[in-house]
Amino acid sequence: MDTVNQTKVTEFVVVGFPNLQRFHKALFLLLLLVYLFTIFGNLLIFTVIRTDSQLHTPMYFFISVLSFLEIWYTATTIPKMLSNLLSERKRISFTSCLLQIYFFHSLGATECYLFTAMAYDRYLAICNPLRYPAIMTTKLCTRLAATCWICGLVGPVAEIILVSKLPFCGPNKIEHIFCDFPPLLSLACTDTSVNVLVDFAINACKILATFLLILTSYLLIIRAILKIRTAAGRKKAFSTCAAHLAAVLIFFGSILFMYVRLKKSYSLDYDRALAVVFAVLTPFLNPIIYSLRNKEIKAALKRMFQCRKIVTRETERP
């Protein structure tokens, strides 16, 4: 009888940054600038790689796919976060909340798999250079990228189905900056130990497995680099991996602490800080990591802008 009389929650309130309420307008401007830079930077990298024939190699193919992914990954959370910073009514429907969680986790999983494919590409290029062109063909690159997307989109389905069946009848305040599994589970009116266990099992397999594969690849890469006789050769070999390794450490370093745990949540500020790192900071840093530290992309950008200047001059002539 008690269950019948309980009111079913149909929408939630995303609390966001309650301790920084006085600075919401400043946070809005900062987050907006970060978001615009993220979109523009990743779009620029994607465009220059796809249009410059000199960058049509497996390594840059995967970087272009990653840039395309980051555009959609940030779009699942940041626009709603921006809206909530200026709105008094920080509400989101139950269905919209589940959709946000699904796309955020599916695209995040795709990124895990894509980083693994990129590590495999670097492993082949450095540890097996003679066979690399024959193995890492355009067909294989396309198949690997497609597999990353398919596995990523399928991954969170079981978790979403389990959460959608939970009863929500009490508090409706999500103590987080966007909808996510841990804060949502803490609001359920029933025991969620099964959900927590399933989340842990899926995330452990997904995140730990990919991270260990990447680490194994880099251990083999480092061993191969150390065998190179010249310092210049070692520096050149490591420079091709440094950007990818930096992005991997930032991304996996935050999501491992956030999702591979047998608790619904730790401290609220701890969860918010981690969420900012992997949902905002990592996509923001990727264009910087892959462009400012990459001579070939900088050269391609210079060629692209020079071509545009020439075209503009030609069209302006009478």
Query: DSSP letter string over the chain?
Result: -HHHHSPPP-EEEE---GGGGGGHHHHHHHHHHHHHHHHHHHHHHHHHHHH-GGG-SHHHHHHHHHHHHHHHHHHTTHHHHHHHHH-S--EEEHHHHHHHHHHHHHHHHHHHHHHHHHHHHHHHHHHSTTTHHHHS-HHHHHHHHHHHHHHHHHTTHHHHHHHHTS---S--EE-SSS--HHHHHTT-SS--HHHHHHHHHHHIIIIIHHHHHHHHHHHHHHHHHHT-SSHHHHHHHHHHHHHHHHHHHHHHHHHHHHHSSSSS-S-HHHHHHHHHIIIIIHHHHHHIIIIIT-HHHHHHHHHHHHHHHHHHHHHH--
What pLDDT score does 289 carry?
A: 83
Q: Give residue for tokens 């900062």.
A: 30
Q: Which residues contact 104 (CB under 8 A, 6 or more apart)?
A: 73, 76, 77, 178, 179, 180, 279
Which one-letter amino acid corresponds to residue 234?
R
Q: Specify which residues 91 forms β-bridges with.
A: 13
Cα(first)–Cα(last) distance of the chain, in Å? 84
Amino acid symbol at 82:
L
Domains contained in the chain, CATH given: 10-316 (1.20.1070.10)
Nearest alpha-carbon partner for 239 in 131, 134, 126, 137: 126
Contact 239, 146 (CB under 8 A): no
Consecutive 10-residue averages of pLDDT for the chain (318 residues)? 56 85 88 95 92 89 94 94 87 93 95 94 90 94 96 93 89 88 88 88 88 92 84 74 82 82 62 85 86 74 70 55
CA distance 18 to 23: 10
In the numeric block, which tokens belong to residue 132? 């690399």
Q: Which residue has the tokens 């692209």?
A: 304
Query: Shortest CA distance to 286 belongs to which of 249, 258, 235?
Result: 249
Rg (CA), the chain: 22
- Tell me which amino acid residue 2 is: D
pLDDT tens-digit readout, 20-38: 778 888 999 999 999 999 9
Chain centroid, CA 142 distance in Å: 20
Q: Are strands 11-14 and 91-93 parallel, antiparallel or unpaired?
A: antiparallel
pTM score > 0.95 for this model?
A: no
What is the per-residue pLDDT across 134-185, written as a single tens digit (0 to 9) for each? Answer: 999 999 999 999 999 999 999 999 999 999 999 988 788 898 889 998 889 8
Rounded distance between C-alpha atoms, residue 177 and residue 141, angstroms = 36
Residue written as token pair 């589970």? 185
State residue 292's pLDDT score: 62
d(CA 88, CA 91): 9
